[in-house]
Amino acid sequence: MNRHAVIAAFLLGATLALGFVLGMNIVAKGAIKARESHSVRVKGTAEAKIQSNAGSWSCSITARNKDLKFGAQKIASGMIEARAYLANCQVTANEISESQIVIEPVQRKTEKGTSSNDIDFYLFTQTITVKSSDVLKVDKISKGISSLIEKNIEIYSEKPYYVNTDIDKIKMELLGKAVKNAQERADTMTANSRGRTGRLLSASQGIFQITSPDSSEVSDEGTYDTSTIDKVVKAVVTLEFSVE
């Protein structure tokens, strides 16, 4: 990495850690304007395909009954079936967590649609959450859980959640590549104008986003897709150099 890229990487690192850009001049919102009359401002980009290495998924088993005893028995039966399903999917005990049972009384509605003082039934709910580094396993169980419905079990399945625990490392690597790309663009522009890229005047981070592979989404605030296992990460930086 050449001298300019090293300086730019340092400035970007300071931006990430402190929330502001260090340079010869400091201006709000990370934009630094050079005092020199001759300068060039360029954007650098870098992109990479990554795969999530951690997944999370939850489902809730519910039961409805006017009798507390029978309601408790019904939800216990549903939880037994859910645990058996997860065990069959090779989900280990340390990958599973269970919430406490929540019991809510549901009032009977009057003819006018308002709640009366009479209890119509009790709603029992218990949640199972699976967290695993095996994202394909998480994907499999989230898609197959509907098989419990065939056993007359009332179940609500949430969407799985996929992330990458190394995203900070990936981000720094991409910022370094984006800086190099910006340096190359600056060199090309100054060479075509019979000049030479001088010292680095400013460095600021632009968009950093993580999207699904086929997404065309672009957000100034950045975005982090958690719905897909495979993702695309993109980083943008802006550098300003003096022109000699």
- Pair 211, 226: CB distance under 8 Å: no
154 & 169 share domain: no
146 & 112 share domain: yes
Summarised one tens digit per residue, pLDDT across range 192-222 is 878 888 899 999 988 899 999 887 777 666 7
- Side chain identity at residue 119, one-letter code: I
Summarised one tens digit per residue, pLDDT across range 7-51 is 455 445 544 443 333 333 332 232 333 333 488 899 999 999 999
Q: Any idea what the CATH number is for the domain that residue 194 is in?
A: 3.30.110.170
10 & 70 share domain: no
Final residue before a domain boundary, out of 109, 135, 162: 162
Structure tokens at 88: 């069959």
Which residue segment(s) compose the domain that 185 sits in?
A: 3-52+165-243
- Pair 50, 231: CB distance under 8 Å: yes
Does this model's pTM top 0.75? no
How far lies 76's CA from each of 17, 40, 102, 152, 161, in Å? Answer: 49, 68, 12, 13, 26
Question: What pLDDT is recorded for position 33?
Answer: 37
32 & 106 share domain: no
Q: Any idea what the CATH number is for the domain that residue 95 is in?
A: 3.30.70.2970
The total number of structural domains in the chain stands at 2
Final residue before a domain boundary, out of 104, 133, 162: 162
Nearest to 175 by CA among 4, 5, 2: 5
Which residues are bridge partners to 232 per DSSP?
49, 211
What does the angle CA 19 – CA 181 – CA 164 come to, to the nearest 5 degrees? 55
> What distance lies between CA 24 and its chain's CA centroid?
35
Q: What is the DSSP string of 100-118?
A: PPEEEEEEEE-TTS-EEEE
79 & 17 share domain: no
Question: What pLDDT is recorded for position 74?
Answer: 93
Final residue before a domain boundary, out of 112, 138, 162: 162
75 & 152 share domain: yes
